[in-house]
Amino acid sequence: MQRRSVGPAAWLIDGVAEPAAWAASLRALHVDGVHEIVPAERTVLVVCERELSEAIGGRLDEVAVAPLEETAPGATVTIDTVTIDTVYDGDDLAAVARATGLTVDEVIDRHVHGTYSVAFCGFSPGFAYMTGLDSVLHLDRRPTPRTRVPAGSVAIAAAYTSVYPSTSPGGWHLLGRTGATLWDTERPEPALLAPGTTVRFRQVPR
């Protein structure tokens, strides 16, 4: 990993193998002067008090990454689990089955039986990139993105699964849909799926 300054009041930690786990370990330390911790695919941005920036940078070098299911010594890491009820009737189910050599039922079964972890959020508010997808379901994005993907669409692309929190363009493969609200600014925490959250998908009838 490499630590780089981003202006006078932030640090970027680059080359992080498990950004969500690293961020959770830092949060568990309750370092004074740290205002925001934002994990991404391979980086973590740490926004901090300007006057304490140099001292905080030294503390960042000492962060020992603990798996999200473990508790860091002397601190508590809280892990939420969210179950998302899903109707598996997505427009791309048959195409995913053909591409993977599975039946449609097998595609659904592999997706349902995965245990996922939110690695980071991006693309749009509340859009969570979740790791833990069965390797057989790892597919490149669609060659032609859709101009409109409905909110609540459950989808896969590359090594991730996600749920579209709002109607938007998108190039992921659609497996199904959920009625869960992924982003709600009226909630104390608008995002249902924050980095570090454990997620399970549960099949429900139409």
Q: CATH number of the domain at 2-60, please?
A: 3.30.1360.40
Give the per-residue pLDDT at 66: 65
Q: What is the mean pLDDT of residues 49-64?
A: 90
92 band by pLDDT with thresholds 50, 70 and 90: very high
pLDDT tops 80 at residue 65: no
pLDDT at 41 (0 to 100)? 85
Give Dmax over CA atoms of the chain in angstroms: 58
Q: How confident is the model at residue 19 (pLDDT cuts 50, 70, 90)?
A: confident
pLDDT in tens, 37-54: 998 888 999 999 999 999
CATH code assigned to 81-203: 2.40.100.10
pLDDT for 24: 86
Note whether 151 and 162 are within 8 A (CB). Answer: no
pLDDT band at 78 (very low <50, low <70, confident <90, very high): very low
According to the model, what pLDDT value does residue 56 have? Answer: 92
Give yes or no for residue 167 having a pLDDT over 70.
yes
Q: Which is more confident, 187 or 66?
A: 187
Measure the CA–CA gap between 104 and 98, rounded to whole angstroms: 9
pLDDT score recorded for residue 76:
40
**Same topology for domains 2-60 and 81-203, yes or no?**
no
pLDDT in tens, 96-153: 999 999 999 999 999 999 999 999 998 899 999 999 999 999 999 999 999 999 999 9
In terms of pLDDT, which residue wins out, 54 or 20?
Answer: 54
Delimit the domains of the chain by residue range: 2-60, 81-203
Question: What local confidence, expressed as pLDDT, does residue 149 receive?
Answer: 98
Average confidence score pLDDT of the chain: 90
At 14 the pLDDT is 92
157 pairs with which residues across the strands?
160
pLDDT of residue 77: 43
Evaluate if residue 73 carries a pLDDT over 50: no
